[in-house]
Amino acid sequence: MSRTPFLDESGDDHEAARRTAATPSRQRGWAVATAIFVAVILIGAVWWAMAPGADTVAVDPEPSSTTSTPSPVSSGPLPTEWGRVRPQTALSGQNRLTLSGIAWDGERFLAVGTDSLGERLNGVVLESRGGVEWEEIARVPDTSLHDITVGESRLVAVGTRKFMPIALQSTDGVVWESTTLPFTPGPDDRIGQADTVTASRSGFVAGGSVQATGDEPAQSPVVWRSTDGSAWTAADDAVFVTGVEATVNDILVADDTVFAAGLVSEEPGASVPVVWVSSPDMGWQRIDLPLAEGAVGFAGVSGIDRGPSGWVAVGFAPGSTGRIGAVWVSSDGKVWELLGGPGDVFVGSTPNSATHIHAVSAFGEGYVAVGSTFERPRVRHVFWSSPNGRDWRRFDLEDPDGGLPASSAHAVAPNPAVVAVAGAAFDIAGDLAQGAVWLGPPPPTVTASVPIVPAEPTPSEQVSGVTVDPDRAVQATQL
């Protein structure tokens, strides 16, 4: 099967690289969720065969403490400094380790990702009490892990095995039982991928995409529900039968309403940011998020969360200087507003670069977002913070030791004292990847990263309400 036209048009960044590791390049469609930069890293991996179904994996002979209910998020100040924790054995992997999900269970951070060695992929689960020292507590053979969440009595992770979406549940993070996620009625020759999962008051909700394996397969978004993390059902609704290429990238459950964020590509060379919404008293509905007037190209939602000031969605959109980071806000999760002014949108653009905001999380009274900017020949990590979802500061950071030539942040999880961000750092050729974790604010044992002042846009590129702040960050204000 050929690669999706979306990928051929746009290429990959590091987030696309981890998904390529989960699903080989011959699969059409998977890159739609994340192919948003000129290709810098491609992990070409052939999936190691493994029969689907339930199985149990145990690694650590001394299990960690039982998962507890997550603690309330701190109401402390938003981070103004960030630091990357030192490289260590647990973050090194065997060859390419990319972290793509992170969560706080009330006592520890738990991160998941994929470690590749040659053609073999292994899902990895790491834990850390404070975010500084990390330990590998589980390794799931022949599996790619993409996300993790914390329920009242168990952990649930999702990923891919042998082209099929899977969910894994555990009470301690060490011993995991996996289940192949079902499809709605349709052709038998379908493959799928689970990319995101979240806990709710009634169980768990996961999202991803499914496609047939014919000559011109259409990729459709899919949402799964479970009360216990073990038995799952797929949402069967006509709104998900797109007949085009589409995917769910993030899931939020608020007041028993499910918000599935992603994108839909209905024509070559373009996609639209989408949020699918479902509440107990009504079926699913698709909501297309707005773009700047005249904007044409690829756009999508990568992350969504709700905080004291309302809903915030992040992702990418077309801009005059290339692909740019984008932020949408809403008071109810159904009517959305795109931040920014005429021309480029929000604070996601610097000249001659492409930016993607990968994830967002409520923290205290505000929000934290993470992403990456591609400025040839390297990709670096970028952080944003906002007290209200509308006024944002941007932090472009350099590792204190110079780091590897490329790094990208994918997921964010706050605890009461610190925000932890999980991602990856690559060498310039993409031959080596390390798991990477940043903390904000950095504790005394973590060196603060050196901020980089992004180049100020020219008048033709200047966004209304966006200025270069003298204290090394970009401030955006919605006028």
pLDDT digits (tens, 9 = 90+) for 122-154: 999 999 999 999 999 999 999 999 999 999 999
* Token code pair at residue 409: 């942040």
Per-residue pLDDT, averaged over 18-31, amounts to 34
pLDDT at 321: 67
Instruction: Give strand pairing partners of 181.
Output: none
Per-residue pLDDT, averaged over 161-171, amounts to 95
Q: b or e along 404-429 (b: 16 or more beta carbons within 10 Å of the residue's beta carbon)?
A: bbbbbbbbbbbbeebbbbbbbbbeee
291 versus 25: the higher-pLDDT residue is: 291
Per the prediction, the chain carries an average pLDDT of: 75
Report whether 420 contacts 409 (CB < 8 A). no
What amino acid is encoded at 387 in this protein?
P
pTM score, whole prediction: 0.80
pLDDT in tens, 70-121: 333 445 689 989 999 998 999 998 778 999 999 999 999 999 999 987 778 9
Find the helix or strand (DSSP H, E) in which 268 lies: none
User: Percent of the chain beyond pLDDT 90?
Assistant: 46
Report whether 329 contacts 362 (CB < 8 A). no
- Nearest to 307, CA basis, from 333, 288, 346, 342: 333
The answer to whether the peptide bond before residue 444 is cis (omega within 30 degrees of 0) is no
User: Percent of the chain beyond pLDDT 70?
Assistant: 70
Maximum Cα interatomic distance, the chain, rounded to a whole number of Å: 61
297: left (phi over 0), alpha (psi -120 to 50) or beta: left
Per-residue pLDDT, averaged over 195-222, amounts to 87
* Angle (nearest 5°) at CA 113 between 110 and 254: 60
Q: Is the pLDDT of residue 401 over 70?
A: no
